[in-house]
Amino acid sequence: MTAEVYDSRICTLGEGPLWHPERGQLFWFDITANRLLGRAEDDALEWGFDQHVSAAGWVDHDRLLVASETALSLFDIATGARETLADLETDTPATRSNDGRADPHGGFWIGTMGKAAEPGAGAIYRYYRGEVRKLHGSISIANAICFSPDGTTAYFADSPTRQVMRQRLGRDGWPEGEAEVFLDLRAQGLIPDGAVIDTDGTFWNAHWGAGKVCGYGPDGSLKACFDAPAPNLTCPAFGGPDLSILFLTSATEAMGAADLASHPDAGRTFRLDCGATGQAEHRVIL
Q: Where are the domains of the chain?
A: 4-272
**4-272: what fold?**
Neuraminidase (2.120.10)
Are 135 and 91 within 8 A, CB to CB?
no
pLDDT score, position 42: 86
Query: Active-site positions?
Result: 193
3-class SS string, the chain: CECEEEECCCCCEEEEEEEECCCCEEEEEEHHHCEEEEEECCEEEEEECCCCEEEEEECCCCEEEEEECCEEEEEECCCCCEEEEEECCCCCCCEEEEEEEECCCCCEEEEEEECCCCCCCEEEEEEECCEEEEEEEEECEEEEEEECCCCCEEEEEEHHHCEEEEEEECHHHCECCCCEEEEECCCCCCEEEEEEEECCCCEEEEEECCCEEEEECCCCCEEEEEECCCCEEEEEEEECCCCCEEEEEEECCCCCHHHHHHCCCCCCEEEECCCCCECCCCECCC
Q: Which residues contact 4 (CB under 8 A, 6 or more apart)?
A: 270, 271, 272
pLDDT for the residue numbered 226: 98
pLDDT digits (tens, 9 = 90+) for 128-164: 999 999 999 999 999 999 999 999 999 999 999 999 9
Chain segment 62-76, per-residue pLDDT in tens: 999 999 999 999 999
Give the separation between CA 17 and CA 240, rounded to whole angstroms: 13
pLDDT on residue 46 = 98
CA distance 225 to 139: 27
Whole-model pTM over 0.85: yes
- Interatomic CA distance for residues 282 and 22, integer angstroms: 11
Give the span between the Cα atoms of 96 and 40, in whole angstroms.
Answer: 28
Compute mean pLDDT per 10 residues along the chain, 286 residues long, and list them: 95 98 98 97 94 98 98 98 98 97 98 98 97 98 98 98 98 97 98 98 98 98 98 98 98 96 98 98 97
